[in-house]
Amino acid sequence: MKRQYFGTDGIRGRTNAQPMTALMALKVGQAAGAHFQRGDHRHRVVIGKDTRLSGYMMESALVAGFTSVGMDVVLLGPMPTPAVAMLTTSMRADMGVMISASHNPFEDNGIKLFGPDGYKLSDEDEAAIEALIVDEPELVDATHIGRAKRIDDAIGRYVHFAKSTFPDRLRLDGLKIVLDCANGAAYSAAPLALWELGANLITLGVDPDGTNINKQCGSTAPSLMQETVVASGADIGLALDGDADRLIVCDEKGKIIDGDQLMALIALSKKERGELRGNALVATVMSNLGLERHMAANGLDLLRAKVGDRYVLEMMKERGCNVGGEQSGHIILTDHATTGDGLVAGLQVLAAMVDAGRPASEMLNQFDTIPQLLKNVRYSGGNPLEDARVKQAISDAEAALAKDGRMVIRMSGTEPLVRVMAEGEDAAKVEQWVDHVCAAVKEVA
């Protein structure tokens, strides 16, 4: 069954336009609540959100949906996506919900669902929920309507969990860190965790107003972090995205360190300690060819999954690996979490730095990247990749780059964009063929 509403990371779109309306949120609550009511215990869902203005509306609609089918609701308030996943299992809930559009602007919102094991839903679960959205599940009798309760110590629970992933023998004393929380879900939790570990913090993006999430800050706009690191003489900069499941870093010189470099550091650190499982790192088709060569030089495989952290996780499970992620900064460490966690990933990077006693510029630049270029082309409808002119342009580009590079073209699962990526030894050649494909897409888009 083709999914109508779910993309690569839940349901997402512009608020008050289909599918991201309060009515749809109510229907999702009813459908997901009915689907996950298994067994004869009192059923429970935990709901977190980021700092978007529309979060209040979507939260209220979801509460109405879940309670109408007899499920109790625990409200966490603004909370990182990985915290929702963790608290779903910790509180023995039947499912978890995160209201967030991640790195998108505040006008957008989304609904991410987790099963009772804290993992994002399978395609089968999403298909079953979509069927119930269409058919509408049965509502419970008035005597069995669920209850809603807000808990006040959710942030403290998550901070305690995040700190537990940092080695007990280490501290962050003397380390000056610039931390950018994107005015998003981790604006309170992330600074608290690093401060409790002893860091000297300079914080950015910690004053959300409902409309400034990801606005000129966070992992998708890290220039302010870079400038602040250099100007303040900080040792490192960490930038999270709106729901804090993504991490981008810069070293003390202001150079951006992406997810590929961070995964390499974490994987090789675990290998040295005998903790890396599967003798491999799981990344996606978008990760740099330099990462693949670096892993091979260290006796490790690089396994490539489809784009989307849920697909990375599926491959990690299949191959018995415990480190994986995406170049964009989603890093999954299954020894600690069931989904990407920007704060936890950051703590592993900081632990490696403190342990080695070396500056970030030496620790984090793990390998030389192969020239790579990614461009996005927005489209208004249909599938431009099915057009014969675009197919021909892609075929020509792939043939031209076949000897010393590769090309990846895909539809975004979260926005109406065609993503065109190429890499190869010759940067000018890479740019030439990316532009060639983009021009063809624009012509039909």
Q: Which residues contact 55 (CB under 8 A, 6 or more apart)?
A: 49, 78, 99, 100, 109
Contact 292, 302 (CB under 8 A): yes
Within 203-243, where are the H helices?
A: 223-232
User: Is the alpha carbon torsion for 129, 132, 136, 138 positive or negative?
Assistant: negative
Residue 324 class from Cβ within 10 Å (0-12 exposed, 13-18 middle, 19+ buried)?
buried
DSSP state, residue 144: G
Please name the amino acid found at residue 241: D
Q: Which residues are catalytic?
A: 102
Tokens for 202?
């300079």
Output the DSSP codes for 28-89.
Answer: HHHHHHHHT--SSSPPEEEEEE-S-TTHHHHHHHHHHHHHHTT-EEEEEEE--HHHHHHHHH
Instruction: Tell which residue, 248, 278, 275, has the closest CA to residue 262.
Output: 248
Between CA 134 and CA 142, with CA 136 as vertex, the angle to 5 degrees is 165
End-to-end CA distance of the chain: 26
| β-pair type (176-180, 148-150) | unpaired
Q: How many CA atoms lie within 13 A of 214 on its CB side?
A: 19
84, 273, 274, 348, 411 from 268: Cα distances, Å = 29, 9, 10, 12, 32
Instruction: Tell which residue, 129, 248, 104, has the closest CA to residue 180.
Output: 248
3-state helix, strand, coil in the chain (%, to 5): 40, 20, 40
The DSSP H or E segment spanning 348 is: helix 342-356
